Every structure is written in C-alpha cells, then in structure tokens.
Structure 1
C-alpha cells in the first residue's frame, strides 16, 4: 500500500465559486436593515441558543462591530454596523 505524501490545497471561501458558509449566511442575515434576534438566527441555522451567542461573539472577535437593540418586551436584535477591512475585500470578491 503506497502512502501519498502530497498535501491537499486549502479550501477557499465563497470567493472562488466555493461553498457559502454559515458564517457568510449569518453576516448576510445580520447585515439586513432590521438584523435578527437570537431565536430567528437559532431557528434558521438549527443552532442552540448558546451556539448562536458564541457565533455572534466570534464575529465580534473577528472585528465585526455589532449593534444590539433591546426593546421593551421584545428579544434583542443584532445588526452589523461595520465590517473589518479584510472581510470587505473577501466579500467584494464573492
């Protein structure tokens, strides 16, 4: 049995006609005028609430500026206020 020593090429994001990731979909959802609440995000992706909060935290750590609107009697809504410079370049290529 021969063992291959070749390495696979790294996967690229949607920019080169590749797949659209859940992160890409989440960014698009939060980029809408009204954004989205935790329950809507969780339902759309089939995530538990703590996973949804972790994804939002991951976006913040990646440099996305998120706004949280807390209206009385309604769940908090999240929207993207700004995108990090490198992400803008990647989104333009898509």
Structure 2
C-alpha cells in the first residue's frame, strides 16, 4: 500500500491502525517537496510493479481532468504524470522515453 503525504501528514497511529486491519501489509509513505516530485516517485513505483505501455499526462491546475482519468489509469495500472501548466519536467521526459511507452494521453 502506498500512502501519499509527508511524515508529518500521516501519523504513525494511522499506519498502525491499517496494520491491525491488514497485518502483513507493506506500507510505503511517499511525500516529496512538490506534487511533481511525488508524481514522479509514484510513477516509478507503478513501473516497478507493472508493465507500463501508456501514460496519462495532466496539468496540476485541471483537477477535473486528472480525477476523470484516475479510474482508467487505475484499472490499467498505468501512471498519471502530473505536470506544471506550461511544461513537462525534464526528469519525467527522460524517464518516460526510457520506458518504451506506446501511448501518451493528454
């Protein structure tokens, strides 16, 4: 299970309660300095566990579009790349070009 948030936003009590309900669960807490960095780390984790053939790219300021694609990306186990309004992060460009992505959706 991946919990998204910095250490101070997710208390140990919440983690302990989840582990009581699901005793053998592995929990990763991901939270970087920006939403773009967090998105990048999550995309890497999705890639580590799944065959990535497509990515969905959404602007951080267009929440409706991002939320509307979540069920599709989740069902296909494909990442959603969160971008700034006017550019794609260089690190994400390099990462996605190295993965032989077949389809990119904006």
> After TM superposition, is the score higher than 0.5?
no
TM-score, normalised with respect to structure 2: 0.28
Q: Which has the higher strand share?
A: 2
TM-score, scaled to structure 1: 0.30
